[in-house]
Amino acid sequence: MITDTVAGNEPAQTAPDAEHVRIFDTTLRDGEQLPGASMTFNERLQVAELLDAMGVDIIEAGLPVASNGDFESVQEIARRSKNSVVASLSCAAFKDIDLCDEAVKPAAQPRIHTFISTSPIHMKYKLQLEPEEVLQHVYDSVARTRNWVDDVEWNAEDGTRTEFEFLCRYVEATIKAGASTINIPDTVGYTTPLEYKDLFERVRATVPNSDQAIFSVHCHDDLGLAVANSLAGVAGGARQIECTINGLGE
Ligand SMILES: [Zn+2]
């Protein structure tokens, strides 16, 4: 759902609707990953149909690399959605990005959401890469994704534990590579509202091309603060909220 710019606010340069807070529902991806919450193919289609009819701006339909079932349901949701952008999640590997594109391609408004960990602890132990290597990887993966779709969201996994200087460099590089939405998630559910608000304000003020992207919150509820943090992120300038029906999932 697109609404007019709020009266009194300066329109951002990205789009006439830049002040609109987008609802990005990830019940079918993040929610569905919760043990006991997995859905059948038909249940997934029913949920997607309801979200589409409700006017949710973006539906994250799944992680195609996870299984054939995920791939097929993303593809079918992409085919059927009438109003919503249909997003599909991918890690930064080229073959996963390409698979993701195949799944989401039938959508009238396809989006690919690609992620890589950027915190020191994740880069060292999970990716086993140096920060400069991650930076190159980030740029290349976003550029690859832009070969397939215009609407690319980049996700700095473990963003709230990422070193600020590096986070800003990653964000700048991904916007240059063509990402139009930047997601800075609180992956380990560790931030607090003032800190998260401050993070968005500082990143937007520091990154020179930040006005060319929409910033997104994605909060986990380990400390029971996911809703408060999400609202604080919006107060800090984020204009997309990633959430699930009934807070299902992390
Ligand atoms: Zn999540």
Ligand 1 center from residue 160 Cα (angstroms)? 13
Confirm whether 14 is domain-assigned: no
Ligand 1 center from residue 95 Cα (angstroms)? 22
Confirm whether 154 is domain-assigned: yes
Confirm whether 158 is domain-assigned: yes
- The burial class, CB within 10 Å (0-12 / 13-18 / 19+), for 243 is buried
Ligand 1 center from residue 132 Cα (angstroms)? 25
Model confidence over 162-180: pLDDT tens digits?
A: 999 999 999 999 999 999 9
Ligand 1 center from residue 7 Cα (angstroms)? 33
Confirm whether 2 is domain-assigned: no
State the residue range of the domain holding 208. Answer: 22-247
- The burial class, CB within 10 Å (0-12 / 13-18 / 19+), for 8 is exposed
**Would you state the pLDDT for residue 2?**
34
Model confidence over 117-175: pLDDT tens digits?
A: 999 999 898 889 898 999 999 999 999 999 999 999 999 999 999 999 999 999 999 99
Confirm whether 106 is domain-assigned: yes
Ligand 1 center from residue 10 Cα (angstroms)? 31
Ligand 1 center from residue 147 Cα (angstroms)? 26
Ligand 1 center from residue 117 Cα (angstroms)? 13
pTM, to two decimals: 0.91
Confirm whether 54 is domain-assigned: yes
Tokens of 13: 């340069």
What does the CA dihedral 216, 220, 224, 228 come to, rounded to 10 degrees?
0
Ligand 1 center from residue 9 Cα (angstroms)? 30
Ligand 1 center from residue 242 Cα (angstroms)? 8
Does the structure show a pLDDT above 70 at 207?
Answer: yes
Q: What is the mean pLDDT of residues 210-219?
A: 98
Confirm whether 7 is domain-assigned: no
Count of domains for the chain? 1
Task: Say if CB 154 and CB 187 are below 8 A apart.
Answer: no
* pLDDT band per the 50, 70, 90 thresholds, residue 16: low
CATH number of the domain where residue 154 is located: 3.20.20.70
